[in-house]
């Protein structure tokens, strides 16, 4: 196999996720046809709704922000070979802790308040990630089960807190009892970009987080350990890497990024308060799950997760536009998203197989190599009588 | 009886078999000799129907042989004894032999008939087995006898033996060879695959040497020497026994006292080992695989906690320490399973070279890796230890076994350790790399490192060690001087026959 083949294979591998999305859309088109909807109109609205105007792009960027945080968090966990399905719960935990901090601290101005609430979000998610991490590392509890279960715990905790201790006093006064906090302190509002409008600094923080995650994973000893443990636990143990601690740390970092997503959702929201409709998705918009897809779409690489989140966010925003344009049931949009998830996740297998198959095994199979080894290895003492004739008396 | 002509087989990027011709006459042992990846298995897999050749033809008794799967091969009287036995552990010998055959009694099993025939065969060829014994209860040597009986039961005229001696003690090898010679004298054709030169010379009628998928020589065993065969395998003159000066051992650096280590399943695998290794000497640990050598190595490295006993490295008690702390006392460790424990296949060469030192401040700049220094350090190691790799960023999995091992040795020796434990340092490594690794071990010894080398290869044990400790069932049977001891003596000790301790 030549270098050309390797390149071709790489190119193919990188185009697999795109092909997967196109495949999902193709099936979506069949469903639209079955519903007697105008496919061309629907899809053109999908794209214009996602990327067609400044407003659309802003909407897409805002939708992509939690996906990117979660996607990067998931990537860190995956790199340690830990599967974090708890993004939803970690987002809720981050949102809650940042809200509690904002409600209970004196107003110290935006320069302190914004970092403070973001750090609180980070911490909330970190705790919610550290729990399954410790359970896995020290007690062998399957992290897929524990993270999913903790999602349920988080949402009930949120419902309890927002209906009781954290509820807006006005809601009680008025007797409406909507489970939401009061409007949080203004100095913690995420600043808007370009003066007015809806676009806040959340997307920038998310991109920054992706870059930091990249640096941690590939430029620091901590990231080295995370990747080593993810690739080969035995070799890591042999090398003296504290495997258990590294697993806990990876899930903690993963949770922290999801928690940050929760905080950005709260302090970047239009109401600037935390609200619950009783479900996790009501708060997270399912970003805790969709972020996993974004991470896989981005090949589990923090930097590639940036465009992947943006594209996936666009698909979510554009899906709503499609629904409005051709008047199809909203279930279709959910189905379309589901299809993309299934296609991308299954395609990931192919992509990895394409990348993993060893392109060339470098054997010492030319005589130049041999001679080099020979000169280096055999002391000059032994004179080699030229080259040995190939073959004996055959 | 068998003729393979002009066999060519291409895999993506590799010519695994390039116009290879090979034949076997009835009543001879024809050996296929070559390093890993030379094309021996490819050729045999083609013969056995596991691969199809791109070019060339196979004739059996003058007829073109049309083989697509192993059952075709078996029907044509070709039997293969695989290196890894193909037996069902939960079934008996008779059941394993009968597996896949039609019963003579229709829908009912005919295990009594099978058992009778097994006894008959074992009588004729001296292959002692009990037809009603379960495979899981049997020792490796016995299981191999079952494999041979399985092939004979199917009346195999042509037998392929893929590295059959790899798992046997020298005595078991002798026993196997008696059987194989008898089969040969019966007029069967035997294809023997091995890279152990002295065995090849002892058994073969003819020897064909492969290198990079091509035949580099086909010689009669008479007149061939280990040196001439090795030269054909490697393509240049090879020193089989490394140059070695007298050792000058000084202080005890590794002291093991009454060490007991449990296996995963709880039984005692190391049963009271006492051993000392001094600075400037290599102590070889010989023994058949599974006699506690690996447990011993893992216990020293801190990867397994001993149930009793003491291990001191350069004077420090290391029992109870974690692997990192043990390394801190001056231990380096070359593990037996290099792809499992020694290297991370998806990591690049430089990342692998950094495995132990990834947290050292000299490679960091404000907490971030300083790739300039790292690359310089790795480049130096790769050059010094002649690791063949296209770049430092090549994933380790793309390197050959020999180069991966050289990479691990480079990493482990770079810190000039006080004590080095090297487990199977050259297993599965090509001759050139093995030669180099032996030379490095001896050099390291002369720099007064205490080296404990665990090996199942007696040539290696005798060639490299200054003292040889023989392990059997978790105990040291004795320590001998490789200059005066014979292979037979060591072989007996490996099989559990005791001997008075002679050397230090």
| Whole-number Å distance between alpha carbons of A218 and A388 | 47
- Predicted pLDDT of residue B489: 87
CB contact under 8 A, A228 and B303: no
- Predicted pLDDT of residue B464: 94
- Predicted pLDDT of residue A315: 86
Interface of B with A in 32-51 (CB under 8 A): 37
Identify the residue among B211, B220, B388 best suited for mutation to test binding to A, counting A beta carbons within 10 A and taking the highest. B388
Asked if A95 and A124 count as a contact pair (C-beta separation under 8 A), the reply is yes
- Predicted pLDDT of residue A227: 96
CB-nearest partner of A362 from B228, B232, B390:
B390
Identify the residue among A214, A240, A356, A389 best suited for mutation to test binding to B, counting B beta carbons within 10 A and taking the highest. A240
Q: Where are the alpha helices (DSSP H) in A268-301?
A: 280-284, 287-297
- Predicted pLDDT of residue B72: 85
| Whole-number Å distance between alpha carbons of B465 and B483 | 10
| Whole-number Å distance between alpha carbons of B290 and B72 | 36
pLDDT at residue B433 is higher than 90: no
CB-nearest partner of B347 from A215, A231, A372:
A231
* Tens of pLDDT, residues B120-151: 999 998 888 899 999 988 878 888 899 999 99
CB contact under 8 A, B356 and A390: no
Asked if A184 and A275 count as a contact pair (C-beta separation under 8 A), the reply is no
pLDDT at residue A358 is higher than 60: no
pLDDT at residue A85 is higher than 90: yes
| Residue that wins the pLDDT comparison between B51 and B469 | B469
Structure tokens at B130: 């009990």
Taking phi first (over 0 means left), then psi (-120 to 50 degrees means alpha), and beta for anything else, what does residue B418 get? Answer: alpha
- Average pLDDT on B58-76 reads 85
Asked if A122 and A94 count as a contact pair (C-beta separation under 8 A), the reply is yes
- Predicted pLDDT of residue B326: 94
pLDDT at residue B13 is higher than 80: no
Asked if A190 and A121 count as a contact pair (C-beta separation under 8 A), the reply is no
Closest to B87 measured CA to CA, from B146, B24, B41: B146
pLDDT at residue A393 is higher than 50: no
- Predicted pLDDT of residue A360: 40
| Whole-number Å distance between alpha carbons of A289 and B341 | 35
Interface of B with A in 397-436 (CB under 8 A): 397-400, 402-403, 430, 432-433, 435-436
CB contact under 8 A, B234 and A370: yes
Asked if B389 and B405 count as a contact pair (C-beta separation under 8 A), the reply is no
Distance of CA B210 to the CA centre of its chain: 19
Strands lying side by side in the sheet with B14-24:
B14-24, B2-11, B55-60, B63-64
CA distances from A124 to A99, A137, A167, A252 (A): 10, 20, 19, 10
Structure-derived torsion over alpha carbons of residues A48, A50, A53, A57, reported in degrees to the nearest 10: -170
Which residues are CB-neighbours of A208 under 8 A, at least 6 positions away? Answer: none
- Predicted pLDDT of residue B407: 94
Lowest mean pLDDT among A272-286, A353-367, B441-455: A353-367
- Predicted pLDDT of residue A6: 66
- Predicted pLDDT of residue A127: 97
pLDDT at residue B421 is higher than 60: yes
- Average pLDDT on A150-159 reads 94
Count contacts between A and B (CB, < 8 Å): 160
Give the CB-side neighbour count of residue B440, counting CA atoms within 13 A: 26
Show residues of chain B in contact with A240, CB under 8 Å: 322-325, 327, 356
What are residue B104's phi and psi, to 5 degrees? -75, -10
Classify domain B2-234 by CATH architecture. 3-Layer(aba) Sandwich (3.40)
- Predicted pLDDT of residue A389: 34
- Predicted pLDDT of residue A36: 85
* CATH homologous superfamily, domain B241-330+417-504: P-loop containing nucleotide triphosphate hydrolases (3.40.50.300)
Q: Does B218 touch chain A (CB under 8 A)?
A: yes
Which of A144-153, A383-392, B76-85, B209-218 has the largest mean confidence?
A144-153
Band (pLDDT 50/70/90 cuts) for residue A355 is low
Asked if B92 and B72 count as a contact pair (C-beta separation under 8 A), the reply is no
Show residues of chain B in contact with A378, CB under 8 Å: 237, 239, 435
- Predicted pLDDT of residue A196: 61
Lowest mean pLDDT among A283-292, B160-169, B273-282: B160-169
Element spanning B278, H or E: strand B268-278
* Tens of pLDDT, residues A118-139: 999 999 999 999 999 999 999 9
Question: What percentage of chain B reaches a pLDDT higher than 90?
Answer: 50
Q: Which fold has domain A62-327?
A: ABC transporter involved in vitamin B12 uptake, BtuC (1.10.3470)
Question: What percentage of chain A reaches a pLDDT higher than 70?
Answer: 87
CB-nearest partner of A378 from B216, B239, B355:
B239
Band (pLDDT 50/70/90 cuts) for residue A356 is low
pLDDT at residue A391 is higher than 60: no
Asked if B401 and B338 count as a contact pair (C-beta separation under 8 A), the reply is yes
CB contact under 8 A, A362 and B323: no
Band (pLDDT 50/70/90 cuts) for residue A340 is confident
CB contact under 8 A, B236 and A377: no
Average pLDDT, chain A: 84
* Tens of pLDDT, residues B225-270: 888 888 888 888 777 777 888 888 999 999 999 999 998 878 899 9
Q: For the complex shown, is ipTM > 0.85?
A: no
- Predicted pLDDT of residue A37: 83
Average pLDDT, chain B: 89
Burial per residue of B440-465, b for 16 or more beta-carbon CB atoms within 10 angstroms, e otherwise: bbbebbeebbbbbbbbbbbbbbbbbb
Distance of CA B96 to the CA centre of its chain: 26
Domain ranges of chain A: 1-37+328-379, 62-327
Query: In DSSP terms, which residues pair with A340 in a beta bridge?
Result: none
Residues of chain B with CATH 3.40.50.300: 2-234, 241-330+417-504
Q: Which residue has the tokens 């809650």?
A: A96
| Whole-number Å distance between alpha carbons of B300 and B307 | 13
pLDDT at residue A371 is higher than 80: no
- Predicted pLDDT of residue A137: 94
CB contact under 8 A, A358 and B397: yes
| Whole-number Å distance between alpha carbons of A285 and A313 | 11
Question: What percentage of chain B reaches a pLDDT higher than 70?
Answer: 98
Distance of CA A152 to the CA centre of its chain: 20
Structure tokens at B180: 């194989």
Asked if B96 and B88 count as a contact pair (C-beta separation under 8 A), the reply is yes
Structure tokens at B102: 């039609």
Which residues are CB-neighbours of A112 under 8 A, at least 6 positions away? Answer: none
* Tens of pLDDT, residues A187-241: 888 888 876 678 899 999 999 999 999 999 999 999 999 999 999 999 999 998 9
CA distances from B416 to B142, B424, B436, B450 (A): 44, 20, 18, 11
| Residue that wins the pLDDT comparison between B395 and A363 | B395
- Predicted pLDDT of residue A382: 31
Question: What percentage of chain A reaches a pLDDT higher than 90?
Answer: 46
């Amino acid at each position: 196999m030549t270098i050309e083949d390797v390149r071709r294979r790489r190119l193919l591998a990188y185009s697999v996720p795109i092909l997967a999305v196109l495949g999902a859309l193709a099936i979506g088109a069949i469903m639209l046809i079955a519903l007697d909807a105008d496919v061309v109109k629907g899809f053109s609205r999908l794209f214009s709704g996602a990327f067609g105007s400044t407003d659309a792009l802003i909407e897409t960027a805002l939708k992509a922000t939690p996906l990117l945080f979660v996607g990067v968090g998931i990537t860190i966990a995956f790199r340690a070979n830990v599967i974090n399905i708890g993004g939803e719960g970690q987002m809720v935990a981050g949102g809650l802790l940042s809200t509690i901090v904002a409600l209970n601290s004196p107003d110290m101005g935006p320069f302190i308040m914004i970092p403070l609430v973001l750090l609180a979000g980070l911490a909330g998610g970190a705790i919610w990630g550290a729990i399954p991490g410790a359970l896995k590392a020290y007690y062998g509890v399957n992290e897929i089960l524990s993270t999913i279960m903790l999602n349920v715990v988080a949402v009930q905790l949120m419902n309890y807190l927002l209906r009781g201790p954290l509820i807006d006093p006005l809601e009680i006064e008025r007797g409406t009892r909507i489970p939401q906090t009061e409007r949080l302190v203004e100095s913690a509002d995420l600043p808007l970009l370009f003066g007015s409008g809806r676009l806040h600094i959340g997307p920038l923080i998310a991109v920054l987080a992706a870059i930091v995650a990249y640096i941690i994973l590939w430029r620091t000893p901590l990231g080295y350990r995370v990747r080593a443990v993810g690739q080969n636990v035995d070799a890591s143990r042999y090398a003296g890497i504290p495997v258990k601690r590294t697993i806990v740390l990876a899930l903690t970092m993963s949770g922290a990024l999801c928690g940050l997503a929760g905080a950005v959702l709260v302090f970047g929201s239009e109401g600037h308060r935390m609200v619950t409709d009783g479900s996790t998705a009501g708060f997270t918009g399912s970003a805790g799950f969709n972020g996993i897809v974004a991470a896989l779409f981005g090949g589990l690489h923090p930097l590639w997760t940036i465009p992947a989140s943006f594209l996936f966010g666009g698909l979510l925003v554009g899906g709503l536009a499609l629904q409005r344009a051709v008047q199809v049931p909203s279930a279709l949009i959910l189905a379309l998203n589901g299809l993309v998830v299934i296609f991308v996740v299954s395609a990931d297998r192919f992509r990895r197989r394409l990348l993993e198959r060893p392109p060339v095994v470098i054997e010492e199979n030319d005589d130049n190599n041999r001679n080099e080894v020979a000169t280096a290895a055999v002391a000059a003492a032994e004179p080699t009588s030229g080259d040995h004739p190939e073959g004996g008396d055959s | 009886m068998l003729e393979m002509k002009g066999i060519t087989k291409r895999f993506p990027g590799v010519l695994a078999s390039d116009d290879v011709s090979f034949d076997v006459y009835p009543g001879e042992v024809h050996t296929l000799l070559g390093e890993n990846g030379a094309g021996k298995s490819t050729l045999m897999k083609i013969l056995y129907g596991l691969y199809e050749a791109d070019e060339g033809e196979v004739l059996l008794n003058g007829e073109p042989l049309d083989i697509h799967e192993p059952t075709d091969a078996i029907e044509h009287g070709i039997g293969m004894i695989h290196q890894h036995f193909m037996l069902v552990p939960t079934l008996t010998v008779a059941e394993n032999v009968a597996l896949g055959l039609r019963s003579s009694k229709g829908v009912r099993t005919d295990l009594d008939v099978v058992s009778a025939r097994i006894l008959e065969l074992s009588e004729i060829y001296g292959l002692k087995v009990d037809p009603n014994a379960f495979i899981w209860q049997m020792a490796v040597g016995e299981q191999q006898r079952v494999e041979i009986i399985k092939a004979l039961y199917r009346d195999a005229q042509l037998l392929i033996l893929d590295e059959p001696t790899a798992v046997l003690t020298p005595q078991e090898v002798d026993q196997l060879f008696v059987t194989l010679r008898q089969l040969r004298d019966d007029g069967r054709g035997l294809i023997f695959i091995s890279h152990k030169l002295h065995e090849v010379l002892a058994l073969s009628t003819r020897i064909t040497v492969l290198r990079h998928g091509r035949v580099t020589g086909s010689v009669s065993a008479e007149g061939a020497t280990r040196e001439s065969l090795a030269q054909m395998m490697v393509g240049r003159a090879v020193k089989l026994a490394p140059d070695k000066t007298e050792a000058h051992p000084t202080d005890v650096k590794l002291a093991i006292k009454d060490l007991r280590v449990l296996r995963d399943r709880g039984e005692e695998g190391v049963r009271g080992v006492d051993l000392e290794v001094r600075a400037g000497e290599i102590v070889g640990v010989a023994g058949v695989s599974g006699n506690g050598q690996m447990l011993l190595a893992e216990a020293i490295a801190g990867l397994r906690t001993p149930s009793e006993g003491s291990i001191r490295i350069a004077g420090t008690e290391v029992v109870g320490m974690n692997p990192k702390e043990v390394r801190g006392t001056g231990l380096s460790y070359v593990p037996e399973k290099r792809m499992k424990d020694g290297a991370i296949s998806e990591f690049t060469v430089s990342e692998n070279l950094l495995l132990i030192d990834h947290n050292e401040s000299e490679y960091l700049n404000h907490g971030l890796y300083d790739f300039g220094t790292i690359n310089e350090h790795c480049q130096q190691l790769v050059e010094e230890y002649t690791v063949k790799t296209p770049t430092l960023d090549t994933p380790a999995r793309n390197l050959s076994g020999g180069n991966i091992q050289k990479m691990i040795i480079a990493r482990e020796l770079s810190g000039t350790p006080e004590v080095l434990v090297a487990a199977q340092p050259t297993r599965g490594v090509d001759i050139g790399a093995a030669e180099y690794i032996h030379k490095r071990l001896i050099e390291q010894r002369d720099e007064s490192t205490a080296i404990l080398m665990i090996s199942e290869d007696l040539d290696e044990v005798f060639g490299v060690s200054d003292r040889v400790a023989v392990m059997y069932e978790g105990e040291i049977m004795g320590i001998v001087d490789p200059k005066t001891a014979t292979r037979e003596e060591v072989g007996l000790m490996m099989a559990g026959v005791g001997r008075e301790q002679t050397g230090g």
